[in-house]
Amino acid sequence: MTQLRVGIDLGGTKTEIIVLNNASEELYRKRIPTYRDDYQRTLDDLTLLVSQAEDAVGASNIPVGLGIPGTVSRKTGLVKNANSTWLNGRPLAVDISAQLQREVKVTNDANCLAVSEATDGAGAGYDLVFAAILGTGCGGGVCYRAAPLAGPNGVGGEWGHNPLPWTSEPQLNARPCYCGRFGCQETFISGTGLGETYRLATGASLSGAEVLAARESGDVTASQVIEAYMEHLTRAFAGVINLLDPDAIVIGGGASNMTEIYDELPQRLPKYVFGGECETPILQAQHGDSSGVRGAAWLHPL
């Protein structure tokens, strides 16, 4: 019997829905702009998207998973840590489940990346998968046998707001983070962090993508900055390995397209991994920017 799943990725600028069958085949996909700062409008848009998807595939009451740029507090049931701030403090899981008249599983979008890649992506076949999003920010998620491990505080895998390991206090203090602390890994290894490394070296403000382009144009400082970025990334992932020792690390987000990550990190990691050796595969996300919406669909197991 064919079992269908709906996945929704509720982002800050776009909302995407997908319908998958149990063979991971995509039956329907639609993307709309996210209407910001209106909680009820968000609920109504999600409800309409599900209705349209079910009409398109000729089914009803399909299980729904929802990925959000935040998390649901186990203590209060309310959304927290969302950069889509109109969701914070709201009982989103309860409200959307009531509107759709079925249980909707809601989790962090980085957890959805981990679920997607552990189910039928680059991490398939590995028991413990750590997935990282290296984009404008820096997110992380952990899956064990394709099930997300969010933890009692809903922050499982969110290693971006720990200080970068093996980094001097002056270097940490030079990087304030929006969370109110200094030296968070996000300020080093996100695309924004790459741009910040360039700014600290030159005084000029470039995005991460512009730093990469500058290197290709022969900018010696940009090459040095990317070398520093690789060092920062090595320390960050070595900290993950020393704590979790995952069977695989999967990387998504814009920075995941840097081929040197996969060429160089395996040789760099033993310097920082306890014991001086490292066999952890470092893999690029197979589903790219579709990983979030696909992972949301897989929140309901077979």
How many Å apart are CA 198 and CA 215, to the nearest integer? Answer: 11
Burial of 56 (0-12, 13-18, 19+ CB in 10 A): middle
Digits of tens for pLDDT over the chain (302 positions)? Answer: 568 999 999 987 889 999 999 888 999 999 999 999 999 999 999 999 999 999 999 999 999 999 998 889 989 999 998 878 899 999 999 999 999 999 999 998 889 999 999 989 999 999 999 999 888 788 899 999 988 898 888 888 989 989 999 999 999 999 999 888 999 999 999 999 999 999 999 999 999 889 999 999 999 999 999 999 999 999 999 999 999 999 999 999 888 989 999 999 999 999 999 999 999 999 999 998 888 899 999 998 76
Question: Are the beta carbons of 251 and 284 closer than 8 angstroms?
Answer: yes
The confidence score (pLDDT) of residue 2 equals 63
The confidence score (pLDDT) of residue 201 equals 94
Determine the topology of domain 122-285 in CATH.
Answer: Nucleotidyltransferase; domain 5 (3.30.420)
How many Å apart are CA 133 and CA 139, to the nearest integer? Answer: 5
Domains 5-114+290-297 and 122-285 share a fold: yes
The residues spanned by each domain of the chain are: 5-114+290-297, 122-285
Pairing of strands 147-148, 138-144: antiparallel
The sheet with strand 104-108 has its strands ordered as 26-33, 14-20, 5-10, 64-68, 104-108
How many Å apart are CA 19 and CA 2, to the nearest integer? Answer: 12
Is the C-alpha dihedral spanning 204, 209, 213, 219 positive or negative? positive
- Listed in sequence order, the DSSP H helices in the chain are 39-57, 92-100, 109-120, 169-173, 186-189, 191-202, 208-216, 220-244, 259-268, 291-297
Which residue has tokens 């989103």?
92
Torsion of CA 49, 51, 53, 58, to 10 degrees: 180
Matching CATH number, 5-114+290-297, of 3.30.420.40, 3.40.50.2300, 3.50.50.60, 3.30.200.20? 3.30.420.40
- Written as six digits, the tokens of 141 are 């998620």
Torsion of CA 176, 177, 181, 184, to 10 degrees: -100
Question: What separation in angstroms does the CA of 155 have from each of 99, 107, 149, 183, 268?
Answer: 27, 10, 9, 19, 28
Query: What is the pTM for the complete model shown?
Result: 0.86
